[in-house]
Amino acid sequence: MCGITGWIDWRKDLTQFPSVLVNMTETMALRGPDASGTWLSRHCALGHRRLSVMDPENGAQPMTRTRGDTGYTIVYNGELYNAIELRKELEQRGHSFSTNCDTEVLLVSYIEWGRACLDRLNGIFAFAVWNDTEQTLFLARDRLGVKPLFYAVRDGMLLFGSEPKAILAHPDFPAEVDREGLAELFIIGPARTPGHGIYKHMAELKPGQCMTVERSGISARTYWKLESKPHEEDVETTASHIRELLIDTVERQLISDVPVCTLLSGGLDSSALTAIAAEYYNRTGQGIVDTYSVDYVDNDKHFKANVFQPNSDAPWIQRMVRHLGTRHHDVTFDTPELVESLEDALRARDLPGMTDVDGSLYLFCREIKKGATVAISGEAADEIFGGYPWFHREESLHADTFPWSLSAGIRTGLLSDETADWLRPRDYLDQRYRQALEEVPHLAGEEDTARRMREMSYLNITRFMPTLLDRKDRMSMAVGLEVRVPFCDHRLVEYMWNVPWEIKSAGDREKGILRKALKGLLPEDVLTRKKSPYPKTHNPNYLAATRSRVLQILNDPSSPVLQFLDTDHLRRLAAPETATMDLPWFGQLMSGPQLFAYIGQIDSWLREYKVSIR
């Protein structure tokens, strides 16, 4: 994985501004710690930071290939899992290769097929290709949006980057946020509306989209989207097909020239991926799989089961380690580390995020990086297979809003009257929810339950999953670790999208069809374990630390976040007798301590990024 950036300007000779490009590129040194490269022409400038995974000796970027009199230059962040097949097909068409890296395969694919190459790619990617004859830039992002790609159009120029920080490094792009950006932060965040970049004039290329930039203008189009069609297969055939797809996907994603490990929580998703990896390593003679898990000091003392987190991971992790014979690494953090990581997580996202849920993943990835460069993660299985509690709880199914944001009143209550009048947060939330529902590709003749479950799947895949993929990308790449997410293989997503809910929940269980597909791969008790999310700290010291941070903000008149808040209400929330707030206000894990931490992150972001409100 890597970091990419670029600059198009038809009014300037960009060869005169090499230092600007270097500064934009170097903001992403953590994403690509192994090498740096820039490329300049009169109207196009491209930058790249490299994390070497395939063919470390070659594959430097930006990479240029010519066909006839036309030069094509690419910057690329991602991984192609069908690069071997593509290379063979391209060689049959007369192309030759000088490296073994997928960058060259992708560039030659674009030279051969143009934008139609996107239909042939299996992988996660964000890339840009400059055609020096046509003077055009082509940008594209993978189908599910695993790899990020932000862009900005301002004063006749286009800027792009893997992260907002690359764009913000340009001297002519100030950090500004308008009414809509603030509404995203205070009512949608830490999620984002698809395509929204929060910063004024900044957007994100949506998953499954590509864009062409030329003198006459900019045009974007969708090359992939979910399509609804009847599912003709029975339960047994469906389970068999899922198993085949998942095994093929994992084995493709285990290919690497650097050490690979898996993240193991002892839950269904991570255990399945680890079991497939262990069997593949054993069959191919690659030795023992390394596994990693995360926990927190004294969590065993303070853990209390609830509907969102029914049991702790530790016993289940050991169960799977013994069963598979992996080389396991337990990683444990204490409260002071989690509190300190809030600032690192903020800088990794360039925005307030999932607070300690982000920070703990950042710390976890930092430890993994000491022993591996690539990790396999079970992200996205709950969105694809319907595993979250809100798929199964009546109050969530019929809430008429995003099911992970049922406590909107907690959030709107934080705002001052003036801010609420300006942002109209309830209207904004409802508008974004209605917009999402209008996008759902319904199947003709669906009865009410099937229709609603299709809507729930769509909301989760297009609105909630991107938040977790953002988190996974930023926190891992901030320490130079590549994380692969097999459940985001577009073939699996396309297939599961049309599987009826009664088959998805086979056996009257969450992710029932996945459990059926994995029979024989996992021990029966692991196969039937009730879902438990990514672990968070239950140590009361974390609540005390985040509450203290909020009180510090309230007692500092220079705190920039205060202009938006009902400070009296926030002070009451932070009082010792009310500061626990067990009800999640976002997702499954973000309750009272995370609310205080989120306010702290907004304050730090406004200060550190010198954000102006416009």
Cβ contacts of 406 within 8 Å, gap of 6 or more: 395, 396, 399
Which residue, 546, 384, 550, is CA-closest to 468? 384
Range list of β-strands (E), 173-241: 176-177, 202-204, 209-214, 217-222
Question: Cα angle at 95 between 92 and 99, to 5 degrees?
Answer: 115
Which residue, 358, 351, 357, is CA-closest to 606? 351
Task: With beta carbons less than 8 A apart as the criterion, state whether 480 and 30 touch.
Answer: yes
Taking the C-alpha atoms of residue 129 and residue 211, their distance in angstroms, rounded to an integer, is: 11
**Structure token pair of residue 483:** 């994380």
Taking the C-alpha atoms of residue 607 and residue 234, their distance in angstroms, rounded to an integer, is: 56
- Give the number of other CB atoms < 10 A from CB of residue 568: 10
- Give the number of other CB atoms < 10 A from CB of residue 517: 23
**Structure token pair of residue 560:** 């920039």
Range list of β-strands (E), 232-354: 260-263, 290-296, 327-333
What is the β-pairing status of strands 176-177 and 217-222? unpaired
What is the β-pairing status of strands 209-214 and 217-222? antiparallel
Cβ contacts of 419 within 8 Å, gap of 6 or more: 182, 186, 563, 564, 565
**Structure token pair of residue 224:** 């992939």
Taking the C-alpha atoms of residue 140 and residue 127, their distance in angstroms, rounded to an integer, is: 6
Positive or negative, the CA dihedral 273, 584, 565, 412 is: positive
Strand partners, 328: 291
Positive or negative, the CA dihedral 589, 591, 594, 600 is: positive
Q: Between the CA of residue 240 and those of 227, 491, 511, what are the distances in Å?
A: 22, 14, 15
Q: How far is CA 390 from the centre of its chain?
A: 20
365 as an active site residue: the answer is no
Task: Round to the nearest angstrom and report the end-to-end CA distance of the chain.
Answer: 35
Strand partners, 64: 73
Which amino acid is present at 55? D
Range list of β-strands (E), 20-179: 35-40, 44-50, 63-67, 70-80, 123-131, 136-141, 150-154, 157-161, 176-177
Taking the C-alpha atoms of residue 205 and residue 50, their distance in angstroms, rounded to an integer, is: 21
Taking the C-alpha atoms of residue 591 and residue 126, their distance in angstroms, rounded to an integer, is: 34
Task: With beta carbons less than 8 A apart as the criterion, state whether 333 and 297 touch.
Answer: yes
Which residue, 194, 218, 283, is CA-closest to 464? 194
- Give the number of other CB atoms < 10 A from CB of residue 186: 24
Residue 612 parent element (H or E): strand 612-613
Residue 290 parent element (H or E): strand 290-296
Q: What residues are labeled active site?
A: 2
